[in-house]
Amino acid sequence: MKYLIFLLFFWLLWALPAFSAEYVSSSLKEKDIAWFDAAKDPFRVYGVFVPDREQPYYYRVPEYVGKKISPVFSMLAHHTAGGRVRFATDSPYIAVHAEEWEGIPRTNLTLTFSNGFDVYSGKNYAGTIMPPEISYDGFDGILYLGEGHRAVTLNLPRYAGLKTLYIGLKKGSRLERAQDYKTEKPLVFYGSSITQGECASRPGNTYEDIISRNLDADYINLGFSGNAFGEQAVCDYIAGLDMTAFILDYDHNAPDPEFLKNTHYNVYKTVRRAHRDLPIILVSRPNPVITEDVRARFDIINQTYKRAKNEGDKNVYIVPGYEFMKGFGSDCWTVDNVHPNDLGMVLMAKRLQGVLKPIVKGDK
């Protein structure tokens, strides 16, 4: 009997909700905050893995994959690009305590984007919680939402790692699990810094997040700034994922057309072998100006597409990246002459959403 009571005691500890007394803020004026570990129920974390014994931080790709590629890839895999926390509450405010690490300060990134947390009430943007400066000592922030019960989505930082995340709500507020995405099997995006989200103004403004909100679909961001080279270890990892569709877009990181030619079909084929009927969307670099290099790269991607079609693939699609900004030019391409701004992200989302919407709805 004593043994059973002992087991029951530890089971109850394990089964307790996310409430934690481990953290008490001394910097926020609100003193009635109940703090919860975002990695525990009823919170649901999407797009990233939560801390565990092997990796005590949030991460996008397991460490064993990064070790096969490079230290820089591993560092980027610690960034929480595409990570989201969803829950429902009637708390009049949302507070955050975050301990960040391994960020990349850049002059072309806003602090809101690289290190901030976007808050959405339903599908509506409510505000951004951000550190006063880039600091890895931990920071507290709060956003006031007003009265009412709502579903909340918290978009995680795009260019920083995250060791710890506590979410603060007014004591006594309701806290429930948010409704699941209608499309639970994620859309998986693999590509460059543009795929990682650079240079949107804030985490929720990337083209993948826009698509996710519009289609009510989960997604995984496998964008690696300057480090998406179609390595076999990445191909194998992606092939092992259960997904609704795969969007292949690493053209910008291929050093030259010859490199792209030698790797592109293999990335496609590795995933196709593992997923016979998976929709695969091939995307070329989103440059609005069609240079000789842009054309050469698109032709290589088009060769993969034609070869796939000739092999009988009925679920492969191609999107010329130079069509994304058609009619807008530099108005959506003015951050640093490489990365799209918010308008560019909207245009990319609109074009890709046209291909993905029938897939998500099951019409293709």
* Same-domain check for residues 160 and 189: no
pLDDT in tens, 151-200: 999 999 999 999 999 999 999 999 999 999 999 999 999 999 999 988 88
* Same-domain check for residues 137 and 227: no
Residues 6 or more apart whose CB falls under 8 angstroms from that of 289 comprise: 322
User: What pLDDT is recorded for position 336?
Assistant: 67
User: What pLDDT is recorded for position 329?
Assistant: 67
d(CA 268, CA 281): 9
pLDDT in tens, 311-347: 999 999 999 998 888 877 667 676 767 788 999 999 9
User: What pLDDT is recorded for position 86?
Assistant: 98
The residue out of 148, 176, 204 marking a domain boundary is 176
* Same-domain check for residues 108 and 191: no
User: What pLDDT is recorded for position 364?
Assistant: 61
| CATH number assigned to the domain comprising residue 168 | 2.60.120.260
* Same-domain check for residues 332 and 307: yes
Q: What is the 3-state secondary structure (H, E, C) of the chain?
A: CHHHHHHHHHHHHHHCCCECCCCCCCCCCCCCEEEEECCCCCCEEECCECCCCCCCCCECCCHHHHHCCCHHHHHHHHECCCCEEEEEECCCEEEEEEEEECCCCCCCCCHHHHHCEEEEECCEEEEEECCCCCCCCCEEEEEECCCCCEEEEEECCCCCEEEEEEEEEECCCCEECCCCCCEEEEEEEEECHHHHCCCCCCHHHCHHHHHHHHHCEEEEEEECCCCCCCCHHHHHHHHCCCCCEEEEECHHHCCCHHHHHHHHHHHHHHHHHHCCCCCEEEECCCCCCCCHHHHHHHHHHHHHHHHHHHCCCCCEEEECHHHCCCCCHHHHCCCCCCCCCHHHHHHHHHHHHHHHHHHHHCCC
Residue with tokens 């043994």: 3
User: What pLDDT is recorded for position 2?
Assistant: 47
User: What pLDDT is recorded for position 44?
Assistant: 98
- Indicate whether 27 belongs to any domain: no
The residue out of 176, 198, 231 marking a domain boundary is 176
| CATH number assigned to the domain comprising residue 301 | 3.40.50.1110
Q: What are phi and psi of 111, to 5 degrees?
A: -65, -35
* Same-domain check for residues 206 and 124: no
* Same-domain check for residues 168 and 37: yes
pLDDT below 50 — which residues of the chain?
1-17, 19, 21
* Same-domain check for residues 224 and 275: yes
User: What pLDDT is recorded for position 228?
Assistant: 96
* Same-domain check for residues 231 and 251: yes
Domain count, the chain: 2
* Same-domain check for residues 154 and 299: no
CA 140, 145, 150, 152 torsion: positive or negative?
Answer: negative
The residue out of 176, 205, 240 marking a domain boundary is 176
- Indicate whether 73 belongs to any domain: yes
User: What pLDDT is recorded for position 15?
Assistant: 39
- Indicate whether 105 belongs to any domain: yes
* Same-domain check for residues 224 and 149: no
- Indicate whether 51 belongs to any domain: yes
- Indicate whether 154 belongs to any domain: yes
Residue with tokens 């496609």: 268
- Indicate whether 8 belongs to any domain: no
- Indicate whether 21 belongs to any domain: no
* Same-domain check for residues 169 and 245: no
* Same-domain check for residues 212 and 332: yes
- Indicate whether 7 belongs to any domain: no
User: What pLDDT is recorded for position 326?
Assistant: 80
Q: What residue numbers bound the domain in which 41 lies?
A: 33-176
